[in-house]
Amino acid sequence: MTDANLDLVGTEIRSPIDGIPSEPAVSIGAIVTANQADALATVTRLDPIYGGITKSIARMLRLHERISSGELTRGQSLDASMTLENGTLYDGMDTFVSPSTSVSTATGTLDLRFQFDNPDRLILPAQFLRVAVTLGTTQAIEVPQRATLTAC
């Protein structure tokens, strides 16, 4: 390989992950250096996509009390179902990734992180979604609505 070819190969920049790049932060012809602090662009991975769920620590403590008392039976895993903004139930598979190890002092909440399959790219970063997490099961009796009364 000639020196010119080696110099040309050194000008190619590849992302270490697959994803969609943002608008470039630098224009063509701008001088950039190796290990510079400013990013050239941001690459966002959309499949799989990660979502953070925030839960009140007070609610988590109440759930822990219900599990300890036997009122709630803990499930084998945390299962999450997601509803998109148009009301459609998302059918992608979810995986519980990790809980946060600290409580936010500003909001008193705990973060849970889930990973969702997103092959059709229906979920985008910062999109508003409704997520229901199943923690366990409890004994209940189903009663027809007509059989109940509203207390005044």
pLDDT higher for 70 or 149?
70
Same domain assignment for residues 57 and 36: no
40 exposed, middle or buried (CB, 10 Å; 0-12, 13-18, 19+)? Answer: middle
pLDDT at 152 over 70: no
Residue 24 is predicted with a pLDDT of 86
pLDDT band at 103 (very low <50, low <70, confident <90, very high): confident
Domain range for residue 20? 1-45
For residue 115, the domain's CATH number is 2.40.30.170
> From edge to edge, which strands make up the β-sheet containing 49-56?
49-56, 109-116, 94-99
Same domain assignment for residues 117 and 105: yes
pLDDT at 151 over 80: no
Same domain assignment for residues 84 and 125: yes
Residue 142 is predicted with a pLDDT of 86
Same domain assignment for residues 27 and 55: no
pTM: 0.63
Residue 11 is predicted with a pLDDT of 73
Per-residue pLDDT tens for 67-87? 899 888 887 777 788 888 888
Q: Is residue 148 part of a domain?
A: no
Average pLDDT of 37-45? Answer: 87
Per-residue pLDDT tens for 128-140? 888 888 877 888 8
Give the burial string for 9-35 (b: 16+ CB within 10 Å, else e). Answer: eeeeeeeeeeeeeeeeeeeeeeeeeee
